[in-house]
Amino acid sequence: MKTRVIAFPGAPNLPIFAALEEGLFDAEAVAVEIELTPSSIYQAEQVAAGAFDVAMTAFDNVVAYSEGQGAAGPGVDPAYVVTLGATQLELSLIVAPDIETFDQLRGRTIALDAKDTGFAFVLTEMLQRAGLSRADTEYVAVGATPQRWQSVQAGAHAGTLTIEPFTTLATRAGFTVLQKSTDILPAYQGGVMAANRGYRQDHEDALAAYMRGYLAGLAWVRDPANRDAAAAHLQKHMPAIKPQAVGPVMASLLDPKSGLTPGGDILPDGMDCVLDLRSRHGFGGRTLTDHRKYLDLSLLEAIRKETGG
């Protein structure tokens, strides 16, 4: 069996890296092919075109495309459905060293994946609570976190939102965390595993095998006995993480408040937060209230019954 996965670059992919390195996908007889996406738009286009079966993506992307509000436009439908939760995901507003306050962002540009995705709505919420409007800054679509961080590091933009390990890389390079999403949002569903609905229906065994391998990788990563080996896998797959940075990155990743969600649980309050932000800051003109319509957790529940988890 084969499952083709497209994911955003970042430390939250560690369960996948661990499952690959430790033979946990092999144990489930599933061959996993993974590609890192340069943007949410590319990710959605490729899933919609049938090039990938599963996206490790932001929950807001699932909502957006389900509601016809996807950043790739109305002609692209990846038919996402959430099969398990992945991360709480702490987003950090990284800014240039010369910026110390939100007010200094007036008239400056901020790099984002796309202008109307969940991260953009988190940024808008940060700005509004600090007394700024979206019109006080300019949002620029740059792509996934590595590209955004590089653009800020090069001085092309005043700031961006980052996840680990890029937050630690930025602070160690002298850039400032102006605010974190966890400072203002008690819960926020960041990453999820989202299968294409057609793949979910037609290849249930392969998807279940991938999910079992991922969950085994997650459990392995979260086992304190594997901490050093897990850090080594992370550095192998993300060589930009230097030895002195791996400790803070791992600490954030293993904290359920800022990283991986134990057991692949979803965060109902975090999903409701995503819906609220899109309802208030998005462009669809609708109030979204029921996160359950984007989920199909039947395979997760079946796996838990099998394993007693």
Please write down the HEC assignment for all residues of 74-120.
CCCCCCEEEEEECECCCCEEEECCCCCCHHHHCCCEEEECCCCCHHH
Domains for the chain: give ranges and CATH numbers: 2-89+188-307 (3.40.190.10), 92-184 (3.40.190.10)
Q: Whole-prediction pTM value?
A: 0.92
Phi-psi region of 75 (alpha: psi -120 to 50; beta: other; left: phi over 0): alpha
By DSSP bridging, strand 54-58 and strand 92-95 are unpaired
pLDDT in tens, the chain (309 residues): 899 999 999 999 999 999 999 999 999 999 999 999 999 999 999 999 999 999 999 999 999 999 999 988 888 999 999 999 999 888 999 999 999 999 999 999 999 988 888 899 999 999 999 999 989 999 999 988 989 999 999 999 999 999 889 999 899 999 999 999 999 999 999 999 999 999 999 999 999 999 999 999 999 999 999 999 999 999 999 998 888 889 999 999 999 888 999 999 999 999 999 999 999 998 877 899 999 999 999 999 999 998 776
